[in-house]
Amino acid sequence: DADVTQTPRNRITKTGKRIMLECSQTKGHDRMYWYRQDPGLGLRLIYYSFDVKDINKGEISDGYSVSRQAQAKFSLSLESAIPNQTALYFCATSDSGTAFGGYTFGSGTRLTVV
């Protein structure tokens, strides 16, 4: 099983619909992140969480919300999807301990809003 699992892998939804993207991890990391990637561009940070009680906005949080249900689960919601939210979404985790080895990313969710 993957260390960081994202569901669904692909999703097509209609404008105005609410949609949730889910992320779960088995790394035991306390920090989790949601990134968005548009074609030909780098990743942009949407939200991040240092622990269950700590949620922070990233560069582009408008139109998104998140929930950290447990240390291992971090979900991203689009309350009312719009076409310019069509993108590839990545969840990532990292360790806050001293043995920092980088971020671990999931395989991504490709979201299309029509």
| List of residues contacting another protein (CB under 8 A) | 4, 31, 33, 35, 40-45, 48, 50, 56, 58-59, 88, 90, 92, 96, 98, 100-108, 110
CA 62 to chain CA centroid, nearest Å: 14
Task: Write the single-letter amino acid at 57.
Answer: K
- Closer by beta carbon to another protein, 13 or else 30: 30
Is the distance from CB of 15 to CB of 81 less than 8 angstroms?
yes
Minimum distance from residue 34 beta carbon to another protein (Å): 11
- Closer by beta carbon to another protein, 67 or else 103: 103
Minimum distance from residue 58 beta carbon to another protein (Å): 7
User: What's the rounded Cα separation, in Å, for the pair 91 and 87?
Assistant: 13
User: What's the rounded Cα separation, in Å, for the pair 17 and 56?
Assistant: 24
